[in-house]
Structures are given as C-alpha cells and as structure tokens.
Structure 1
Amino acid sequence: MVANAVAAAAGPADVVEAHALCSAESLCVFTVSVKHADSGWQHYANRWEVLGPNDEVLATRTLRHPHVGEQPFTRKLPRVKLPATLETVRIRAHDSVHGYGGAEVSVELER
C-alpha cells in the first residue's frame, strides 16, 4: 500500500529539455532530458516520443529501467528520418503509472 501511495504522488513524467541535430537529408539525432520521481520497477518513466502533426508518433525512445538516483536524466535517439517539410516536432514523456500528461517541449528542426 505504501508503494502505491508513493507511486501515485510521483505524478507524470516531464520533458525538461530537448534538442535535435538534423542533416540536410532530414536524418536527426534527438537529445531529450526527462524528470520523473522514479520509485522503482512499478513506477518509472518508460519512454519518450517525437510527435509530428496531429500527434502522429514519428519515433520512440524506450527507457528500459528506472532512473531512481539519476534525475533528470538525458538520453539520445539517433537516426530518426523525418519528412523534409517538417519544421517543428513535440517531445512527450510517458510513465508506467500515469501514461502521458507531463510537460512537453516543442523543438524546431534546423537543417
């Protein structure tokens, strides 16, 4: 019961910073920092996503373990091919209890 109360109090995962480095061919590397009160395997930030127009998921970075002692934490996602006409994407994080709902970041794509 106590673990569930702590997990519920942690809230959703927040994207606190995000950057994209894109080539002229629209191949991008995303660097994203996420903050979440990971408490263990029952409640942790388990992925972040790159979203295009109409909330289309363009890429997903799976986070394979809790980051209890590492907050915020930063991970990269390389070799993301995006449409050449796309100018901006949104980054959102997901956690294993609340799903989505935390802070998101918009990233302008420069080529």
Structure 2
Amino acid sequence: MIRLVSGIVFVLLGSASLCHAGDVEIVDARYERTGEGLYTFQITLRHEDEGWDHYADKWQVLNPDGKVFGERVLLHPHVNEQPFTRSQSGIAIPEGTSEVVVRAHDTVHGWSPDEKRVRIAMPDD
C-alpha cells in the first residue's frame, strides 16, 4: 500500500512538472545600483526556444503588487544560446522598496509561473 501511494505521489508530481515544461525558467537575477533610485538588472533565462513562433520574448521587474518598474523585450529567439543573459539599465525603483519580482514571458505560454523574488539592498546595507 505504501509503495502504491508513493508511486501515485511520484506520478502526480511528475505530471505537474510536465504541465509547465514549455515555460521560461529564470535561472538568475542580479542587479546593480547605478544612481539615485536607478538600477541595471541582468536576468538569465532558460527556455526551449523553437524559432520565431515560440521563444522567450521579454522579462519584467515589478513590485510584489504588480506595478511594472522595467521591461526588457527580447527581439529574437535564442535557439542555440541557452541559458542566456540580457540586461536592462535605467530601471527606476522607488526608495524604500525592499523586494522586487522578476517574471518572464514567451510567445506561446505567456507569463511563466516561475517568478523570482529579489531583495533590494538599501544603499547603507
């Protein structure tokens, strides 16, 4: 009976991960403070880009409530370059913001459920 339950749990967990097999994975998210309230973000993504009809096409930096601070549009597929890192400078983050969310998008599945929370260090940290 225990083996049967273990097997069912394994199958359920395995099938749950298959539901998101085509989503964009955020491998890494880094930032650098470049000025008063301005930041450059370097985001590393992994996605099974297939060509112009299916590829990771953008990422965003937003607050936990959903207000977008910045976006990087990816203008072409990265079929043979995985994972890949792209940066965006000039992202204004209001003073007192302690955490942002990074999310990624692809042309078929839309926004990936794989979001990454990034703690923003205060200038004195």
TM-score w.r.t. length of structure 1: 0.86
Closer/same/farther in 2, CA of residues 18 and 31 from structure 1, 3 Å limit: same
Once residues 86 and 106 of structure 1 are traced to their aligned partners in structure 2, the CA distance between those partners, rounded to angstroms, is 12
Query: Which whole-Å deviations, capped at 9, do the CAs of 1:47-83 have from their partners, x for residues lacking one?
Result: 0000113111111100000000000100000111110
1:13 aligns with 2:20: no
Code of the residue aligned with 2:57 in structure 1: it is N
Which runs of 5 or more residues in structure 1 are unaligned?
1-8
Q: Out of 61, 65, 83, which is 1:72 matched to?
A: 83
1:37 correspondence with 2:52: no
The Cα RMSD (Å) is 1.7
Q: Secondary structure at the match of 1:46?
A: strand
Within 2, Cα distance between the matches of 1:70 and 1:78?
22
Partners of 1:10 and 1:53 in 2: CA distance: 25
Out of 17, 30, 37, the position equivalent to 1:26 is 37
5+ unaligned residues in a row in structure 2: which ranges? 1-19
Cα distance between partner residues in 2 of 1:102 and 1:39: 20
Instruction: Report how far residue 23 of structure 1 moved.
Output: 4.1
Which of 1 and 2 has greater Rg? 2
User: Structure 2 length as normaliser, TM-score?
Assistant: 0.77
Partner of 2:111, secondary structure, is coil
Partner of 2:115: 104
Moved over 3 A (4+): none
CA separation of 1:53 and 1:102: change in aligned 2, threshold 3 A = closer
Percent identity at matched positions? 41
